[in-house]
Structure 1
Amino acid sequence: MNKLISVVAVVVGTAAALPASAQITSGSIAQNKAECQAQFRVSDLNGDNFLTPREISLFRGSMPTELSGREVIHRQDFISACYATLPQDD
C-alpha cells in the first residue's frame, strides 16, 4: 500500500511540475510534441527511459497504438510513435 501511495505521489508531483500546456492525464492523447514528451515522463515511473510491463499497463490509454503488444518500450520508440500521431503542420 505504501508503495502505491509513493507511485501516485510521484505521478501527481510530476504532472503538477509540467507546464500547463503539457499536462496530461491517463488516457489522454498527445496534441503536440511537448505532450508526447510529458506522456513519457509521467509514464516512466522509475525514470529508466524504458516503460516496463507494469508502467505500460498503468498508462495503456495514452500509448500510441503502434506500440500495442510490446512488453517493454524504449523512450525513443515511444516519442517517435507519438510524434507520428500528431496533426501535420500544413
Structure 2
Amino acid sequence: MERSIGAFEAKSQLSRLLRAVEHGEHFTITVRGKPVADLVPHQHHSSHGVALAIKAMQNLPLIRGVRDADVASFVAEGRH
C-alpha cells in the first residue's frame, strides 16, 4: 500500500513509518504537496542485479562462425 505523507509529519513520526515500511508499506514524502522522496523497504540489489545481468546475457544473440582466436584478437584490438 502506498500513501503520501508531508515532510513535517514524516519527521515527527519516523519511527512509526519505519516499522510500517518493515512490514511492506510504501510512503511518498511530500513538501508543499509535491512528491520529493519515496520511503520503501530496502532491497538487496546485489543478488537482484546479478540475476538481471544473467537474464540479459542469456537474451543476447549468439555469434556463430567466429573463432575464439578472432574474439581474442578483437578484445586485444580494443585495448589499444
Please report the TM-score for the alignment, with normalisation by the length of structure 1.
0.25
Higher strand proportion: 2
Instruction: Pick 1 or 2: higher relative contact order, CA cutoff 8 A, min separation 6.
Output: 1
Higher helix proportion: 1
Please report the TM-score for the alignment, with normalisation by the length of structure 2.
0.28
